A and B are shown apart, each in its own frame.
Chain A
């Protein structure tokens, strides 16, 4: 009976996911122009957050590098956009970030805790300042224009990156690679002595997560039309994924997705309606979230469930 229940629950979930996917894929057909634009931005945040969680969640290494990889993708679009079609420069942006992450990861993943966080943050600053210098003193330009692409196309590009990312995360989580990743977060020394090549697992995961950040950057750049190093390497894009992941809860695969979706929607609404106060309201929401939801939004579900069940299903 249990097996039947599990399979029926599973096919129900698959059906639900399929339905959501169909609704999302046909969105531009029934929703006005603003909705796909809003959804593009929400998906962008989801991609940043989920790919951040892919590495930092299980390993516990707090990376503040998302803005660096995101920015590398943006610059890939700005430089290549004129010459090659959208899919090519999205992949190029992702690969560029992948390679940067491989190099940086090989150098820095021996750092632990706060040192790693600060270094990755410094990386964002370093690339940004190098680009400012290069553009100003070597090329004599200030910022660049990015090729303009129709917002529905961008929406589909973002949706595809999102789906590929979710599949990647799902399969990593279920694979033996995912088990190794988790063991590193639990106890890196023990993992190494049990035969896990910890450096390789960390660097590859770091680079895979950077690939998706770069791809998202390359895609969204075409919405922004003009970019410069300060826009492309805005440090906010390093912190927001972390906040969104904490807000959603990192214990489950869907935690960061829900966190980022609600967070991004809230941000969009607040910016448009209370442009002056939005950062303030945002801050309050965050403080409340961290105080009252230590496991994030998804952590609320088992808590509410337990309350409803009135302790009958006490943890045994």
Chain B
């Protein structure tokens, strides 16, 4: 059963179709990758799903419910969390408070402060940031800031997590940890939809991959199918 569905999702920036009539679906429990060259419309699609942007036409459904045009905080509370391509942590707040904010405000039911604190501490442990929980977020390394974003997103108790280039800019050791983190998130029962450029990582971690090019969906399939697809190779390597 699809947890997330999009039908004819379209968004224009000026005269340019950033996302054009894209149909997609993500099934419960899957890890789905979203790839494509720069400017393909991947982040725009995430912005449309998370409510940062409203589509010009088309419908987006989460668990069968139409969420097109809902506000970001409403979509978050329904169970869709996200991270950002350019890291957006709360720089001058301690690491723990960054996560606390998610558990205090992002869950559908709300939480008592004590529960939220426990939850936040547990998640810092989960992503491996327990040792630095009192440090200001701006003093973390990029890899740790990305983990912090994941923890903050998980604090909102999502059923679907949108990861926007979690692995870009990481060194090989950090990359391996990030791949492992995604697997553990999946094991938690959270469905993952991820934008990624690091092919090795995406091939190993995804169940299914969707390819965007110039705002249109050009291919979809298992990593094996995508890796051997003629259209995809043409787009990436030229004809």
Interface residues of A (CB under 8 A from B): 176, 179-180, 182-183, 186-187, 189-198
Nearest-CB residue, chain B, relative to A190: B88
Assess whether A179 is in contact with B72, with CB atoms less than 8 Å apart. Answer: no
Assess whether A183 is in contact with B101, with CB atoms less than 8 Å apart. Answer: yes
A192 proximity list for chain B (CB < 8 A): 52, 71-73, 76
Answer whether residue B124 sits at the interface, using C-beta atoms and an 8 A cutoff.
no
Answer whether residue B91 sits at the interface, using C-beta atoms and an 8 A cutoff.
yes
> A61 CB to closest chain B CB, in angstroms?
16
A179 proximity list for chain B (CB < 8 A): 93, 97, 100-101, 104
In the complex, A187→B88 CA distance in Å? 7
> A220 CB to closest chain B CB, in angstroms?
35
In the complex, A182→B136 CA distance in Å? 14
Given contacts A179-B100, A182-B90, contact A194 B105 (CB under 8 A): yes
Interface residues of B in 124-175 (CB under 8 A from A): 152-153, 155-156
> A241 CB to closest chain B CB, in angstroms?
23
Interface residues of B (CB under 8 A from A): 50-52, 71-73, 76-77, 81-82, 84, 88-93, 97, 100-102, 104-107, 113, 152-153, 155-156
Assess whether A180 is in contact with B101, with CB atoms less than 8 Å apart. Answer: yes
Assess whether B92 is in contact with A198, with CB atoms less than 8 Å apart. Answer: no
Assess whether A186 is in contact with B73, with CB atoms less than 8 Å apart. Answer: no
Q: List 19 A-B contacts (CB under 8 A).
A: A176-B104, A176-B105, A179-B97, A182-B92, A182-B93, A183-B90, A183-B93, A186-B92, A190-B90, A192-B52, A192-B73, A193-B84, A194-B76, A194-B106, A194-B153, A194-B156, A195-B105, A195-B106, A197-B73
B52 proximity list for chain A (CB < 8 A): 189, 192-193
In the complex, A70→B120 CA distance in Å? 42
> B121 CB to closest chain A CB, in angstroms?
16
In the complex, A136→B104 CA distance in Å? 53
Assess whether B89 is in contact with A195, with CB atoms less than 8 Å apart. Answer: no
Nearest-CB residue, chain A, relative to B99: A194
Nearest-CB residue, chain B, relative to A176: B104
> B107 CB to closest chain A CB, in angstroms?
7
Given contacts A182-B90, A187-B89, contact A193 B104 (CB under 8 A): no
Closest 5 CB pairs of A and B: A195-B106, A186-B90, A195-B105, A190-B88, A192-B72
B104 proximity list for chain A (CB < 8 A): 176, 179-180
Assess whether B50 is in contact with A193, with CB atoms less than 8 Å apart. Answer: yes
> A179 CB to closest chain B CB, in angstroms?
6
In the complex, A193→B162 CA distance in Å? 11
> A60 CB to closest chain B CB, in angstroms?
11
A187 proximity list for chain B (CB < 8 A): 88-91
Nearest-CB residue, chain A, relative to B152: A194
A195 proximity list for chain B (CB < 8 A): 73, 76-77, 101-102, 105-107, 156
> B225 CB to closest chain A CB, in angstroms?
32
Nearest-CB residue, chain A, relative to B149: A190
Assess whether B107 is in contact with A186, with CB atoms less than 8 Å apart. Answer: no
B113 proximity list for chain A (CB < 8 A): 176
Assess whether B105 is in contact with A196, with CB atoms less than 8 Å apart. Answer: yes
A182 proximity list for chain B (CB < 8 A): 90, 92-93
A198 proximity list for chain B (CB < 8 A): 73
Max chain B Cβ within 10 angstroms of own Cβ: one of A191, A195, A198: A195
Assess whether B91 is in contact with A186, with CB atoms less than 8 Å apart. Answer: yes
A191 proximity list for chain B (CB < 8 A): 90, 101
Max chain B Cβ within 10 angstroms of own Cβ: one of A189, A191, A194, A197: A194
Assess whether A190 is in contact with B105, with CB atoms less than 8 Å apart. Answer: no
In the complex, A196→B90 CA distance in Å? 13
Given contacts A179-B104, A187-B89, A190-B90, contact A196 B97 (CB under 8 A): no
In the complex, A253→B50 CA distance in Å? 36
Assess whether A189 is in contact with B88, with CB atoms less than 8 Å apart. Answer: yes
Nearest-CB residue, chain B, relative to A188: B88
Nearest-CB residue, chain B, relative to A186: B90
Assess whether A190 is in contact with B91, with CB atoms less than 8 Å apart. Answer: no
In the complex, A269→B180 CA distance in Å? 67
> B6 CB to closest chain A CB, in angstroms?
18
Given contacts A186-B91, A187-B88, contact A193 B101 (CB under 8 A): no
Assess whether A193 is in contact with B82, with CB atoms less than 8 Å apart. Answer: yes
B152 proximity list for chain A (CB < 8 A): 190, 194
> A34 CB to closest chain B CB, in angstroms?
43
In the complex, A195→B156 CA distance in Å? 7
Assess whether A186 is in contact with B93, with CB atoms less than 8 Å apart. Answer: yes
> A25 CB to closest chain B CB, in angstroms?
34
> A303 CB to closest chain B CB, in angstroms?
19
In the complex, A196→B104 CA distance in Å? 9
Assess whether B91 is in contact with A180, with CB atoms less than 8 Å apart. Answer: no
In the complex, A126→B155 CA distance in Å? 45
A196 proximity list for chain B (CB < 8 A): 73, 101, 105
In the complex, A193→B47 CA distance in Å? 10
B155 proximity list for chain A (CB < 8 A): 194
In the complex, A183→B92 CA distance in Å? 9
